[in-house]
Amino acid sequence: MKKNVNWEKLARYFADELPREERQKVEKTLQNDPDLGKFIIDLQSLRSQARSRKDPCDLESEWEAFTLKASIGEEKSQQKRNYRRFESYAETRKSHRLSSPYSTVFRAAAMILLLLGIAFISYQVGIDKQDLAEDSDQLTMREIATEQGQRVNLRFSDGTKVSLNAASTLRFPERFTGGVREVYLEGEAYFDVVNQNDNRFIVRAGGTKVEVLGTQFNVRAWADDEQVEVVVAEGMVAFRADEDIPEDAVTINRGFYSYIRQDGSIATPEPVSLNKYLAWLDGKLIFDRTPVREVFKQLERNYNMEFIVQEISLYDRQITATFSDESIDEIIRALSISLNAHFEREGRRVILIGKE
């Protein structure tokens, strides 16, 4: 690994703050430096855990604890100066981060900087990361839980990329072992799975199982939904109830959609518009004759709001609309016109009242 790494630029790369041209230069550097590239892949997963932290992050305490455990000794002061460079950069970004809808991003960026410093020191003093584990023989499971209004992108140890939607939870092993890669989902996530020959990738969600070798697909399995949905963007997957035998699985090809009902019955795959099901990846919401109840569920998850309907008959209505850059207030006004209803907002609570 090269020692003249521009850590500040690397931190900005992690925080998605570099322009496209600069990002391409960083990615080229990672390709040319296999050791540094390996660190980056490992840190992608750790970054996601940092983003999901809800408790205040004391970087100084974390740093002191690590350097003491690593017994860095005389190396400590120089490496701490590197950390201070990261911390200084993070502080300059603090006010901007906290003003955005994703205020937790600053905590994530701060943890990224700490983790990068740790990775750098580990390389300098030759620390085996397995030495930091309490029990190297026990498979460690990680869990990422997003809040309402928050999305997370992460990468597994095998290179598989995942986008986790708001109000969702993903459990996965710290590293994949054996012949099966298996993760557990509650909520919604988009998977871009790296093909590893016969090393299957399995997503368990809402009592169902999705099996693939290498493909791109979306799984939607919130606990309060009546069904688990899968749509395939590339390749194909085998979809079945968790307890069913493999022969009962339904094969879903690119551009097709299927779902499993609560009673375990599987719908015949049908062709669909991928834009409708994958719009959330670009921050969009597409409703196509969508029941009002479902519309409100999605808005609650994406905007951290609570919708209360006083006129129950409004639940029988459907919405057809597309939202991208609109604020929640603009969306509320549009829905009030579409439903011919009156809305009252009290902070995070929106009350829907039917008009006479």
Domains of the chain: 7-132 (no CATH), 141-275 (2.60.120.1440), 284-354 (3.55.50.30)
Residues 290-303 have pLDDT tens digits of: 999 999 999 999 99
DSSP, collapsed to helix, strand or coil, labels residue 68 as: helix
Q: What is the pLDDT of residue 117?
A: 53
Spatial CA neighbour of 51 closest among 144, 188, 184 = 144
Residue 36 near residue 29 (C-beta atoms within 8 A): yes
If you count DSSP H runs as helices and E runs as strands, how many of each does the chain have, helices first?
10, 18
Residue 203 and residue 225 in contact, taking contact as beta carbons nearer than 8 Å: no
According to the model, what pLDDT value does residue 67 have?
Answer: 47
Asked whether residue 211 carries a pLDDT value surpassing 90, the answer given is yes
The answer to whether 310 and 352 are in contact (CB under 8 A) is yes
Backbone angles phi, psi at 166, to 5 degrees: -65, 155
Task: Inform me whether the pLDDT recorded for 127 exceeds 90.
Answer: no
Residues found in the chain:
356
pLDDT band at 31, cuts 50/70/90?
A: confident
Question: Average of pLDDT values for 223-244?
Answer: 89
C-alpha angle with apex 159: 153 to 162, nearest 5 degrees? 25
SS3 226: coil
Distance CA 172, CA 230 (A): 19
**Neighbouring residues of 150: CB distance < 8 A, sequence distance ≥ 6:** 51, 102, 104, 166
The percent of residues above 70 in pLDDT, for the chain, comes to 65
Which pLDDT does position 59 carry in this prediction?
47
State pLDDT tens for residues 131-148: 333 344 456 889 999 999
Distance between CA 280 and CA 275 in Å, rounded?
Answer: 9
Q: Which of the two residues, 26 and 258, has the higher pLDDT score? A: 258
Task: Report strand pairing: 270-271 vs 318-323.
Answer: unpaired
pLDDT digits (tens, 9 = 90+) for 92-108: 443 333 333 444 444 45
Q: What pLDDT, on the 0 to 100 scale, is given for residue 40?
A: 66
CA pair distance 213, 181, nearest whole angstrom: 10
